[in-house]
Each structure stands twice: as structure tokens, then as C-alpha cells.
Amino acid sequence: MEKGIDKTYTEVCKTYFPRWNPWKYTYNPDWTGGWCNTEQKHIYLGRQPAGIKGALSPEAFIIHQVCHAVGNTGHGKCWQNRMLKAANRAKRDNPKLSGEITAHVQRYRLSPEWSCREEIQLLYQRIKNSFAGRYPASRSYDIEAVLEYHLHEMGIRKEWDKPLFERVMQRGREIAETQSRLR
């Protein structure tokens, strides 16, 4: 994804989100996955985790992240509808990309277990990266603030699923403590 990332990001934004004022982005191959900082209006792009079923092309990966920025931080209906709008726009000029995006959304719609398991693994990787100092400004936050921020960005809310929230928080604390000891 490194080669031509500027061009790819610019083209994706211009083609699939023409009315959106693109946010700044940072690409770092040491990071895993991607995430949007809605307060700073900044998208962070990393490599896609190896071995994850359904890994996306660079264009689809950027579309996925931008849909979080323009739609919603989670993978619910708002985000899915924005993804499908991009897929529809791609139908004529890039049918392969259109199919890839549609299939990606279908995985979230048809298998909440898939999306949850994959999302949780990405969340744990982000927490690990945060406390290894790979994400900007992460060292200045306490463990609880970083964990809650990542949970919020992933669309996991305590009021929606308290057992999941608490389980992920506990595992996140363990990861953070391990990473802090390794520094």
C-alpha cells in the first residue's frame, strides 16, 4: 500500500466522496489496520493484518476508513449504507472494486460473529500499538482513556453491551500493562 498512497487516497476521495473535504491522513506500515480520529479529523492507515479473511485492496481499505469519517465510527447501518453508496458509484468504472466493497459489507451484515471477532482482534492490536508508542500522542494518556477512546472508535459502547465492553476493557488493560513493561 505504501507506493502511491498519496495518489490512491486523493483519487478515492475525489471519486467516491466528491463533496467531502478530505481529512489529513497518516500512513505507517508499522501500524495494523486503520482508524479515524474524529476530533482531529485525521485518518490513520496501516497495513492490513496478515491472515485476516477478507483483506481489502488499498482502494477499498481507504473507502472503508473514509466511510467511518463521513458516516459513523462503527460498522452499523449508517456506515454500511455509505459503503454501499461508494460500491454503487464504482459499479460502472470499477466493477471489481464495487463487488469487493459489497462483499465486505455483506460479511458485516450476515455474520455479526465475524465482524465482532475481527474487530476485537484489530482493537487489541491498536491497543498494543498505542502502548508501544506507535500511535501519535498515545504516551500522554492513561490506560483507561486510551482504552475508552479505542472502544468508542470501534463502536463498542458500555450502554449497548456491558459484558463485551468490560471483557474488552480487561483484556485491553492486560495488553497495555504488558506493553508498558516491554518499553
Task: Please state, in angstroms and rounded to a whole number, the distance separating the CA atoms of residues 157 and 58.
Answer: 29
Cell 463485551 belongs to 164
Q: What is the pLDDT of residues 114-155, one digit of tens each?
A: 455 666 777 777 777 777 665 554 455 567 777 777 776 666
Crossing angle, helix 58-70 and helix 77-90, to 10 degrees? 130
Task: Please state, in angstroms and rounded to a whole number, the distance separating the CA atoms of residues 182 and 100.
Answer: 39
Q: In the beta sheet, which residues pair with residue 42?
A: 24, 37
Indicate left, alpha or beta for 137 from its phi (over 0: left) and psi (-120 to 50: alpha). left
Q: How many domains does the chain have?
A: 2
Are 104 and 118 within one domain? no
Final residue belonging to a domain, choices 95, 110, 125: 110
pLDDT score recorded for residue 174: 84
Q: What is the pLDDT of residues 28-75, one digit of tens each?
A: 887 777 888 877 889 988 877 655 556 788 999 999 999 988 876 677
User: With the C-alpha atoms ordered 6, 152, 100, 70, is the resulting torsion angle positive or negative?
Assistant: negative
Final residue belonging to a domain, choices 52, 87, 110: 110
Are 93 and 146 within one domain? no
Cell of 51: 491472515
Are 77 and 10 within one domain? yes
Has residue 21 got a pLDDT over 80? Answer: yes
Domain of 95 in residue numbering reads as 5-110
Q: Which residues contact residue 96 at a Cβ distance below 8 angstroms, ignoring those fewer than 6 apart?
A: none
Final residue belonging to a domain, choices 110, 131, 161: 110
